[in-house]
Amino acid sequence: MSTTFLSYYVANRAMETSQVSINTTGNNISNINTDGYTRQRADIVSLYSSSNSRYANSIVRAGLGAKATGISQVRDPYLDTRYRLQNGEANRYASIAESLTSLEDVIDEASTEALQGQLTNFLSDLESLEQSPTSADIQTVVRSSAGKVVTMLNTFANDIDGVLTEQIEEMDNTINNDVNVILQNIAQLNQQIREELVYGNSPNELYDSRNLLVDELSGYANIKVSTSAQVVTDDLSIENYVISIQDGDGNDIQLVNNEYYNQLKGQTDADGLYQISIDGNSKSISDPTATNTAMNNAGLLLNDYDAAGGSYITQGTLSGLLDFVNGAGSYASATVTTGDNDFAGIQYYIQALNDFAQQFADVYNKLNDVVDTDGDAINTNPDTAPLFTSDTPGTGDITAKNIQISQQWQSDPSFINTTTNTINAGQADNVTQMIEAMDKDFTYPNGFTGNFHEYMNAYLGELSNDVEMNNNFSKTSGTVLDTLFTSRESISGVSLNEEGTYLMAYQKCYNAAVRFFTVIDENVDRIINSMGRAGL
């Protein structure tokens, strides 16, 4: 049978485990408002007695009580993974919506003085010139209204370039001041956690700090967290912690491997597209000269759409910014080039505006290159009578940024050819063609067919629809993210009501253990002080 004093150990262990549970609950309550804190619980196991008796016997042996083996966190790995995936999606749409809204703000057609208004004024002045084709004053007015169309195109183009510059600066800041710092800090925490585990400690607070950083990192890119056990001794295993990203074929690129980490580098290439690559070989927290050969991918492009498997960065803020900065939409090549993609980003809207400027200039330059009634060419070279040129005439295509009134027209308002009849210069048949051209349908490189006003309406309408669509996507994905956060907090977060209930339960357990101790003490007192005193 068990020794009498064994019961003291059972009672003592009951008090100890109850006290550990009370302390753990108190720690949870004190951290109820701590950002990133994960609810903790005492790990309690039941101890049992064993016998080395060679043969079975009928002696009843009670257990040896309970023992607290450690303090663990209450987390659901599945919800962590789901939350981080959704966080990447939500941040991608949010960054796209914000960037497109910035673009929409600079292309403001709410005012009658914007491009649509200037086109209308140009048409109205051409109609006035049709009535008085030889009027020098009206010719000057037409040139002035054409100049306002050009100025508005220049303004739009410069403002769009300003948005592009801002987004590239944001990309640089995000990579250098956010992502790279997070990767280094996670590697630092990995080293500290592994050291604590070697010493037999439970680094729960370090886990919380790391989980906060991993959650934040998941908002920048589509990361995957992998853990495995590394056996140190027969009685001790510590954690291997790896963070990686994957391309479309499932190929992994490690960003963090225990204390080793990679850094990212962002820069624009010769085509003005933004590229993100691995900046040098991996780095080590403890040894600046050490590297991890499995992580050494210096110079590897992470948004190389031309490579097998496509881009590694498919979600998060970085993906959204890359889509906006590099997205060429329908202008993307059939075989997408490095860094280029078919999202309708700022490259698409720049090129679409350039096509409008080129088409507008081509139409009116050709109309100004007229022939007489006998069919003899007045201007054998269309470039000799342009109304619009680039800022460096004769070199390169006309764009919204470089279009300007030609030097010939700038010097002489009558340079605009009002008629094809050189015998009767007072006619305005060519002005009539210019007026009709404003409502004539043209087919543009992006496939759109329509007149100038319709093209700009479609241009602005597409941008407005893109903003609305991505705002809706952002709201929807944000709602799902909030739902997942609530689900995760219902498990990992601290509830004052729940902890209060646990506290009362553990207090009752402690009181019961004390009562058990008292009963054992009374029993022993009876054995020692009362037994064997018969007849005394």
pLDDT level of residue 158 (50, 70, 90 thresholds): very high
User: What percent of the chain clears pLDDT 70, i.e. is strictly above it?
Assistant: 89
Predicted local confidence at residue 57, as pLDDT: 56
AA letter at 305: Y
pLDDT level of residue 176 (50, 70, 90 thresholds): very high
| Mean pLDDT score, 456-467 | 93
Cα 528 to chain centroid distance, Å, stands at 75
What single-letter DSSP state applies at residue 272?
S
Phi, psi of 338 (to 5 degrees): -55, 125
Q: Give the closest residue to 168 by CA, choosing from 308, 318, 50.
A: 318
Q: What is the pTM of this model?
A: 0.87
Predicted local confidence at residue 375, as pLDDT: 46
User: What percent of the chain clears pLDDT 90, i.e. is strictly above it?
Assistant: 64
Predicted local confidence at residue 377, as pLDDT: 47
CA distances from 248 to 103, 242, 310 (A): 30, 19, 6
Predicted local confidence at residue 3, as pLDDT: 66
Cα 148 to chain centroid distance, Å, stands at 39
Question: Mapping DSSP to helix (H, G, I), strand (E, B) and coil, where does residue 70 land?
Answer: strand
Of 50 and 284, the structure prediction assigns the larger pLDDT to 284
Question: Mapping DSSP to helix (H, G, I), strand (E, B) and coil, where does residue 87 land?
Answer: helix
pLDDT tens digits, one per residue of 462-499:
999 999 999 999 999 999 999 999 999 999 999 999 99
pLDDT tens digits, one per residue of 369-390:
875 545 454 544 455 678 999 8
Predicted local confidence at residue 28, as pLDDT: 92
State the residue for tokens 């309408």. Answer: 461
Predicted local confidence at residue 439, as pLDDT: 92
Q: How far apart are CA 327 and CA 305, in angstroms?
A: 11
Q: How far apart are CA 139 and CA 151, in angstroms?
A: 18
Predicted local confidence at residue 5, as pLDDT: 74
State the residue for tokens 């010493």. Answer: 199
Predicted local confidence at residue 306, as pLDDT: 66
| Mean pLDDT score, 235-244 | 90
Residues 6+ apart with CB under 8 A from 338: 269, 273, 275, 301, 304, 305, 306, 307
pLDDT tens digits, one per residue of 95-122:
999 999 999 998 877 665 688 899 999 9
Predicted local confidence at residue 354, as pLDDT: 95
CA distances from 120 to 94, 416, 449, 451 (A): 36, 19, 19, 13
Q: How far apart are CA 474 and CA 98, in angstroms?
A: 10
